[in-house]
Structure 1
């Protein structure tokens, strides 16, 4: 207890002092698992373990942009004995099984005896990464403490909401289970409180869900208290989810009725509406409509949106062999590249479409550029592009 409180104070105190720090990044202990726990016992600190794999893109991103940040480095170097472990090599294989590491990166905070204190994970900004350290250093806020209270039967709103927030980074299935439990136990009258509003905003809502129906039935009260922009944002997300669901049902009348209503909503995103409509045509094999409408949208609502152009192009790549559709998708992918040549996925999508259309020279050029843009941050994606280049060269 004493050492975690000290660690907590260290993480708090370094935030304002990072300008004077001499640290150049988080310093990771070099040695065996046994040796790192011995070091932690000697230093009277917790062990922070970065559980990674060689192919994990988010792991590389964290290593490059967050672990090198002065604020993060000061906090972690002062509070913990830091350790990196590849989950697919050496001691990492058994370590992964022991601590049930199923996604990467996963962050474990262990005491000197190897007992789990706190667990989190994922790609995140420095502020959130430092906040995790504070939770791990605060005995009342760790994942283990919250789990213990939950397993002992506590079901307060405060506990469940904190527990969900932590589980969302480490166990999404369990997070949803606890979320559904919290929704069930929260009475309608409590949904009108600040806690109820926090619950309504916690996850995207479906139109048929109890929380959404309650929000719409009491929209005036929520707007008066929290503002129309926030309420309309939730409403817009629910509508988009309903439209995405309608794509798979292939009920043309219902889909376009919903789409038209969405387009007339306040602050509706015209680009999103266009993307959804084009995905409807592809999903339901209305290729003539796709080509006609895609040409129009490429010069109007989507003309400056490289991410949506590229996303639609890749959707075509994975959904059809129709030549006219693929040619239109290739044109959209090329437009995305022209808008933003710094995005790896724009070039890789364009390269794959050129390859599929037997345009060897352009496919090879785009694939080689995508490899340069990607760099070494995502080994898995790099391997896919290298494989594509081999196939193009063999044409």
Structure 2
């Protein structure tokens, strides 16, 4: 493949990729202080035997910890035993107390700066009435009786609370690993790749699982890189065109499907079609998507570049098992050679544009992104 040498067109393409790379930043929303909380239901006034698994005293029922408030609330409601009410005799009396089905009210979890806790509450209310089964006296007046269950929010493991506003923060210099970073940066790209994996019978399957492996391994490596934020920008720029079927991706995948249909009746045809598709998609992905992402965000330090390159062969072995040894050696050598050429082109193009060859200034350093 040859690139159009026109300086005007090249600069126009660079501008387009720059705008595409920075678009998510301009659309950022206000920070959600609750995003790193986990939630649980807690009985603070006894008897806690009214909840499944609870005991007689106070503080003797606690639900498992959940990633969302809705799950903790649903568990608390689900564990409440007396949903249908009750009809019980009064102590040493001919009277009984009958209480109807429960009505629930909920106060959402919010942060209280005075107590320095995230807190909400479930209120279980029954309408009750005293009566004599023999009917010799009229029933008493109806009244409401209520029981309560607390819902607490706490920072998930690895985070600590900032008591001024309840925000959960990672320790300075910490680096989130997948799936803790699945909502931003390269972790988000991994999550999108994992949820869009095609069926193993698809001709695109070998490429997709190889790409997922490399993205996962490279994203984890960023925690030890010279420039941690580089991967959080390069991987989405590398992966998004494929996930969104931009540029030539749709015709390429259509071609792969047509080739499999043509070959499937032949002996070994499906295998041949998958390998041809793997090679076609991999080549286009490197010479187009990788190159464009690197030109926008930076070519990376030599050390960081080498760290990623070292994961190519292990991923090839993981996603394409059972081949002769020469397959993995030749494959990783070929990909490394193409990557080297792409890196050289990246450095040349960024030099012509007057930008630093290794990396954009705002992406330098070992401090990692901590959230979206």
TM-score with structure 1 length normalisation?
Answer: 0.21
Please state which structure has a larger fraction of its residues in strand. 2
Larger RCO, structure (CA 8 Å, separation 6 or more): 2
More helix by share: 1
